[in-house]
Structure 1
């Protein structure tokens, strides 16, 4: 592996970590209805004998600003979908109708907002830990390239410096995304 390829791989992996954090933040409740809030919930469907994401089982829409509507493709999965939504850590109380499930999004209390902010901070910290693990892999790759005589000692230091710059850039991006999400959660 050459140094440029190693840096590109490190940057790509860090970028994917930040994108994953964005997807995790989409499921954090902010008090307004959004299909992304529940679309990635795992639902065990007995008739299929497997665990599936909610978005694979139903159409999720927002008919009103504080309401989600879940329309299962197969009406026999309605009880399992309702149960998965109720048992999620989102604190939602779905109500099954004839061919759909209505999920009202209640106003968040101050206490619940603070819990959500803690969860946002925890998700942000987990992403930073993943970024630091990727940095370690990049540093180890530099040492290996030095040992394999692909890099000189100065080349190794330069490579490690570039990996650190990438790490700093992505940690700062995570902090920015986390702060924006915290502000969104606390906004009444």
Structure 2
């Protein structure tokens, strides 16, 4: 018979699976704050963020509270100078952990809002949406399985958008400034 799951046991498990530390200064100096789960508003914990250490798991960090603004995908590693290494300014205001997914991947892409118009189903990485799918504007989508990153340019470049399972009736639902998508990939590497 196994022992009951306590709050302390759950916290220890989260530390092993997901842990990100934000530092006010470069090279992991200054005031810092640690997260092991989603945080919609990081502003109370630090004024600026110039370096980040991801101890375990993968995270999306956002320039504005409540998961808004530019998004950046971070995997396990050290980011000693955010601006130089990954182009993030010092204004990180929210973060979201990306759950580990071990099953299949499937996303349905639609040319029009509200899941209408031409539909293409994708289950693997796509470095060039225009060449492969003959679509460049994606106005809505349905993430059936897995977690995905969309990029506004081909070859996984440009602005990044994180999509978890669910319906996105308009490109603004995933934070897009326009329906233009150049590439997309599955989030499969959690180390």
**Structure 1 length-normalised TM:** 0.18
CA radius of gyration, larger in: 1
- Which structure has greater strand proportion? 2
- Which structure has greater helix proportion? 1
* More RCO (CA 8 Å, sep 6+): 1
**Structure 2 length-normalised TM:** 0.18
